[in-house]
Structure 1
């Protein structure tokens, strides 16, 4: 869940363990039916599901990232770090 608004991320393992959702499915780590059920439940709760691969793109808007963030990404901006 995002620290801002109603954004959610669904991933097969820890964020970054797979490059794309399709990769996790191809390796048998993310079942398509389970993913569809989770996405449906999140949508019913008012969340917008964001693809993990999109969150790794550069965040080029104005922001003050935390000191430990070397490359501002959409992930760092809207989900933070662990």
Structure 2
């Protein structure tokens, strides 16, 4: 729970960063740098690392409009130990990352996904090590699905969550 408290405090700190009213990214967000880290065009990035670690090409989706994330990686089902496709979303805030198993919100955290058979322990380790090595901070979905109680106009939205704030279309 102490880690949960630290993550919630981080959410609130990131939420207060100066930025445009549209909430897609904070002031100073370096999209080109974020793309290099995600794609690995010149140096080993997340897509290259996961493609290597999983032994199959991982697809990088980008160019999301009106969203608080810019990149999403898809790991094909045939590359995973559980035979389930996996996804990794990268927020435009604080180098946050979340792993998606089958559907957003389907599992509270990666340990829960392993217990349910949606993720193998080996695959969990591959993803968490790659994210940590590249400086991303992995966030548990259970924390993202809590009601949004930040400082932006999203507080006026009935169903806004921290997922909405940092990993969704706005």
| TM-score (ref. length: structure 2) | 0.42
C-alpha separation in 1, matches of 2:165 and 2:94: 12
2:134 to 22, 45, 56: 45
CA RMSD of aligned residues (A): 2.1
| Partners of 2:96 and 2:137 within 8 A in 1 | yes
Measured against aligned partners, the alpha-carbon deviations of 1:51-70 in whole angstroms (never above 9, x if no partner) come to 011100112111123x9x53
| Partners of 2:108 and 2:140 within 8 A in 1 | no
Counterpart in 2 of 1:73?
161
| Partners of 2:98 and 2:140 within 8 A in 1 | yes
| Partners of 2:114 and 2:120 within 8 A in 1 | yes
| Partners of 1:6 and 1:48 within 8 A in 2 | yes
Displaced runs of 4+ in structure 1, greater than 4 A? none
* Higher relative contact order, chain-length normalized (CA < 8 Å, sep 6+): 1
The alpha carbon displacement at 1:30 in A equals 0.7
Moved more, 37-46 or 56-65: 56-65
Measured against aligned partners, the alpha-carbon deviations of 1:24-58 in whole angstroms (never above 9, x if no partner) come to 22221111121111011011111000001110011
Which consecutive residues of structure 1, in runs of 5 or more, have no partner in the other structure? none
User: Max radius of gyration: which structure?
Assistant: 2
Q: How many residues align?
A: 80
User: Per residue, is there more helix in 1 or in 2?
Assistant: 2
User: Per residue, is there more strand in 1 or in 2?
Assistant: 2
